[in-house]
Amino acid sequence: MSEKNIAYRHLLDSVLSLHAAHRKSDDPTNENDFFEFSDDELRRIVDALWDDRYSAERRNFKNVVGSIISEKVSDE
């Protein structure tokens, strides 16, 4: 993904900064109120979403999200 694209950077920055804020306000005693994604995983999801811009099926996004969550489930 080209870093020259400002719109993409805005989306990625929004997702990562909100994620950071959520992580900061996470209640460590409640294991269900926050789900841990790494920045890299979220970047992969945003990239996939961005790649789907002009495709009707939006397959990349579904595949990447599905695959990341499946990995997490199987790692447990």
- Rounded CA separation 73/46 (Å): 21
> Which phi and psi angles does 6 have, rounded to 5°?
-70, -40
Angle, CA 46 vertex, CA 40 and CA 49 arms, to 5°: 145
Helix (H, G, I), strand (E, B) or coil at 3: coil
CB of 40 to another protein, least distance (A): 15
Q: What tokens were used for 37?
A: 């994604």
CB of 46 to another protein, least distance (A): 9
Residues from 27 through 66 that contact another protein (CB under 8 A): 30, 32-35, 37, 42, 45, 49-50, 52-55, 58, 61-62, 65
Contacts with another protein by CB under 8 A lie at: 2, 4-8, 10-11, 13-15, 17-19, 22, 30, 32-35, 37, 42, 45, 49-50, 52-55, 58, 61-62, 65, 68-69, 72-73, 76
